Amino acid sequence: MTLRTMLKLYYNTAPNPMKVALLLEELGTPYEAIPVDTRKGEQHSASFMRLNPNAKVPVIDDEGRVVFDSNAILLYLADRAGRFVPTDLASRERGEMLSWLMFVASGIGPYSGQAVHFRNMAPEPKEYALNRYDFEAHRHWKILDDRLATQPYLVGNQYSIVDMAFWGWARLVPFVLGIDNPWGQYPQVKRLLDEITARPAAQRVEKLRTAHAFKTELDEEARRNMFPQNERLKKA
């Protein structure tokens, strides 16, 4: 009899690893959470880059089946379990799910992340870049808010991996947009955020967030590890 090894989740507390942790908790899948401290540069280690040459978390190792990129992991895990995802590959619901999952992957995540970067971390001058990414972040969150005004979840009436992908970023909307209380503009985003955050699985993810003491200082070491592109500026 071959013993099944526990799935490994390589993570930090950023939005993308947390949405994968949420799905694992919703599924009740046993997993080993392995912290990767990106401010210390652990994502650039040779051992980690054998898992993900893109040097980013999250990554899962499911008995040697390695999957990276958070939304790819969500789809892999949900398909494997046959839960939180339409299973009929030819159905209208499956196409709708894929469209909105990729909307989060290609729109919500990148524009929200860049808005945070240019608002809080980029050197001056940054007015043009911040204006672009702040505008696009608002535009994408408005699309989701409008959709949620007509239905309870992002894909119809069923809680799905699209909502979990949403949750990872929605928790940070005030920080993303640089507004103390953005919920007057995005009340439906807040509604779904609160509903998911109240779920027992999300409460267990919150415990995971505090289970490891990640480096918090944004010092020279952290900037070098997180923004290696800046080294080129020093040589210019």
The 10s digit of each residue's pLDDT in 187-199 is 999 999 999 999 9
Q: Which residue ranges in the chain fall short of pLDDT 50?
A: 1-3
pLDDT at 236 (0 to 100): 56
Q: Where in the chain is the domain with CATH 1.20.1050.10?
A: 92-199
pLDDT at 2 (0 to 100): 47
Q: Which fold has domain 7-84+205-218?
A: Glutaredoxin (3.40.30)
DSSP string, 2-51: PPPPPEEEEE-SSHHHHHHHHHHHHHT--EEEEE--GGGTGGGSHHHHHH
Q: Where in the chain is the domain with CATH 3.40.30.10?
A: 7-84+205-218
User: Among 168, 119, 117, 167, which residue's Cα sits nearest to residue 14?
Assistant: 168
Given this structure, which CATH class describes domain 92-199? Answer: mainly alpha
The 10s digit of each residue's pLDDT in 20-73 is 999 999 999 999 999 999 999 999 999 999 999 999 999 999 999 999 999 999
